[in-house]
Amino acid sequence: MHWSRDELGDITIRRCFYVSEFAQEREQQDARFKKMDQFILDLKQEKFNGSYDLAYKVINHLRKLISQTRWAHAKELMGVIRKEGKQLVAAQPSEYVIGNMVRRVLKIVREEYVRLLGKSEEFANTESLHKMLTSAETEDEKYMKSLKELKTTVMEAVSEYIDEMDASIHNIAAQAIEHIHSNEVILTIGKSRTVEAFLKQAAKKRKFHVIVVEGAPLYHGHELAASLAAHNIETTIITDSAVFAMMSRVNKVIIGTHSVLANGGLKAVSGAHIVAQAAYQHAVPLIVLGAMFKLCLLHYSDIGGSEATFNRLASPHRVLDYYKAGSQDLCNVQVYCPTFDYVPPELVTLFISNIGGNAPSYMYRLLSEMYHPNDHEL
């Protein structure tokens, strides 16, 4: 084919236009990927300040993902979230909050889809004998309908959930007055922001005594004790080894936790199991404070198929400093500094979260309300 000069010029201009548009979109996509990559890098380097901070960042990241990616229907959206979730969890497997947030968002998507279709809530709910006998629709047919309002409703629901999370410490602290009475002796271990807020709230109306276990080798207990003393709460610091000796004088043990497992057990700060066992021995009630986002679908045994992701080993320098450990006498000695402890559910009396107090045996119910069993595996 022969092209005249004018036509050639035209085609070249058009080509340039297409190329620049394409490049623009590529740039935008690249910027998005960079942000997500940056987030994953942050996760790997543990650049977060406690589980609440991490949960907040993850859910905001997911919210951005929902608004920025293109998806046709709920199933596709869940696929996108799931894929991103897998990457996030792989970046930091010992932090269960990441997985919790991803599954919570998936459950929100399912709920909103069902609500928009006008069916009852129970339809989207978990497996049950009843469902096995009454429903005839197979799983694959669901979630494929394209709904215009799905995006806005999902974003609204996620924002609502973020607000709920924001208020969680406040809601837990508001229940303090029912649990702490005058002249009681409370024991706690390590430093938990929830426990701190809880005790400070109770101190506004009651006078009580707090014993803080220092929590070697990180000694977070010292910070908590200083903070409580500044609020005019009578505080005593004891070493970890003195827990059993002091337990007979304690009325209640109140601890925070890193996460709550599916059977009602805890993944708490190292030393918590000792405190729990001593409390059980003296028939002292153990109260655990934790917001709902700390509740995981995982059981103690099924953590990625290996125990490696349950505990995080901190630097052993705090246990035995490098200079001493490197000496001739100690060079064959192995030093560990685990950060977490497993506390079995039989030792826990009450679990206080932002939705109220529950027994550990009730965890299964809360789990079924928060996550969908099909999301157990991302």
Partner 1 sequence: MNDEEIAGYFEDKLKDDDLSSAIAAIETLLECLQRDAAETLSGLIHNLKQAKEVLVTTDCLATTSVSSGSDLFLRFITLASLELDDFKEVKEILISRGKLFLQKVSTCRTKITHLGMPFIKDGCVILTHSYSRVVACVLKCAAESKKRFSVYVTESCPDKSGNFMAQLLQEYDIPVTVILDAASGYILDKVDVVLIGAEGVVENGGIINKIGSYQLALCANALNKPVYVLAESFKFVRFFPLNQQDLPNQFKYKASTLKKGANLSIEHPSVDYTPPSLISLLITDLGVLTPSAVSDELIKLYL
* Nearest-approach distance from CB 334 to partner 1, in angstroms: 20
Q: Which phi and psi angles does 87 have, rounded to 5°?
A: -65, -45
Angstrom CA distances, 279 to 108, 184, 247, stand at 39, 15, 7
How far is Cα 109 from Cα 103, in angstroms, rounded to an integer?
10
Q: Supply 171's token pair.
A: 């809601």
In terms of CB distance, is 132 or 331 closer to partner 1?
A: 132
* Nearest-approach distance from CB 275 to partner 1, in angstroms: 19
* Nearest-approach distance from CB 137 to partner 1, in angstroms: 11
* Nearest-approach distance from CB 118 to partner 1, in angstroms: 22
In terms of CB distance, is 244 or 300 closer to partner 1?
A: 300
Residues that bind partner 1 (CB under 8 A): 126-130, 132-134, 136, 262-264, 299, 301-303, 305-307, 361-365, 373, 376
* Nearest-approach distance from CB 50 to partner 1, in angstroms: 28
How far is Cα 82 from Cα 104, in angstroms, rounded to an integer?
11
In terms of CB distance, is 221 or 264 closer to partner 1?
A: 264
* E strands, 15-66, in order: none
Of 95, 93, 79, 107, the C-alpha closest to 376 is: 107
* Nearest-approach distance from CB 259 to partner 1, in angstroms: 17
* E strands, 110-213, in order: 185-189, 209-213
Whether residue 276 contacts residue 348, with contact meaning beta carbons closer than 8 Å, is answered with: yes
Instruction: Provide the edge-to-edge strand list for the sheet that holds 356-358.
Output: 234-238, 209-213, 185-189, 252-256, 286-289, 350-353, 356-358
| Helix H or strand E encompassing 198 | helix 193-203
In terms of CB distance, is 125 or 270 closer to partner 1?
A: 125
In terms of CB distance, is 9 or 356 closer to partner 1?
A: 356
Angstrom CA distances, 26 to 1, 12, 19, 21, 34, stand at 33, 21, 10, 9, 12
In terms of CB distance, is 262 or 272 closer to partner 1?
A: 262
* Nearest-approach distance from CB 127 to partner 1, in angstroms: 5
CA quadruple 62, 65, 66, 69: dihedral, nearest 10: -160
* Nearest-approach distance from CB 278 to partner 1, in angstroms: 17
In terms of CB distance, is 62 or 266 closer to partner 1?
A: 266
Whether residue 99 contacts residue 294, with contact meaning beta carbons closer than 8 Å, is answered with: no
Whether residue 200 contacts residue 224, with contact meaning beta carbons closer than 8 Å, is answered with: no
In terms of CB distance, is 171 or 374 closer to partner 1?
A: 374
